[in-house]
Amino acid sequence: MLGELEKSEKAALSIAVGFLLFFFGLLVYAAKGMNIDVPTCITDVKPFTEGRVIQHSPDRYEVHYLAYMWAFDPMEIEVPKGATVDFYLTSKDVIHGMHIEKTNVNMMAIPGTVAYARYTFTKPGEYRVICHEYCGIGHQDMMAKIIVK
């Protein structure tokens, strides 16, 4: 009980709690400051069976990536510089990974679930979409491409 603690124990507890709050604050600050979107496993989108690109406005896109052995559908997409893209990802067969190089988009493609991440492409160029979860003999060739114009 708190009342029976030594002064030094109380001090140690306060310091520990202080540190916890401080580091939690740092985490929140870093996530906000670096504009990190934590990938989420969402439940309100049903797993889909084919890839899709939907353009909502000149700079808003929605991409449904279907991962399968050993490719992504769609294989190649093109968006304008500055476009914000909502990525939805699922798998048709086994567990795959999906990393968009030069970005912080990094998700798992798990059959029966849909992962989500958002990214704004501020720099033009070619971005490879890479499977980073070993998924069989064709794993190292499993990639797609995003072209930002």
| Site for ligand CUA, rule CB under 6 A | 70, 96, 131, 133-135, 139, 142
CA pair distance 52, 63, nearest whole angstrom: 6
Query: Of 115 and 131, which has the nearer Cβ to ligand CUA?
Result: 131
Q: Are 58 and 130 in contact (CB under 8 A)?
A: no
Q: For the CB of residue 94, give the shortest distance to ligand CUA in the complex, in Å.
A: 7
Burial profile 33-42: b = 16 or more Cβ within 10 angstroms, e = fewer: eeeeeebeee
Query: Of 23 and 134, which has the nearer Cβ to ligand CUA?
Result: 134
Q: For the CB of residue 109, give the shortest distance to ligand CUA in the complex, in Å.
A: 7
Q: For the CB of residue 89, give the shortest distance to ligand CUA in the complex, in Å.
A: 11
CA pair distance 118, 115, nearest whole angstrom: 11
Query: Of 70 and 116, which has the nearer Cβ to ligand CUA?
Result: 70
Query: Of 3 and 112, which has the nearer Cβ to ligand CUA?
Result: 112
Look-up of token digits 């990536």: 65
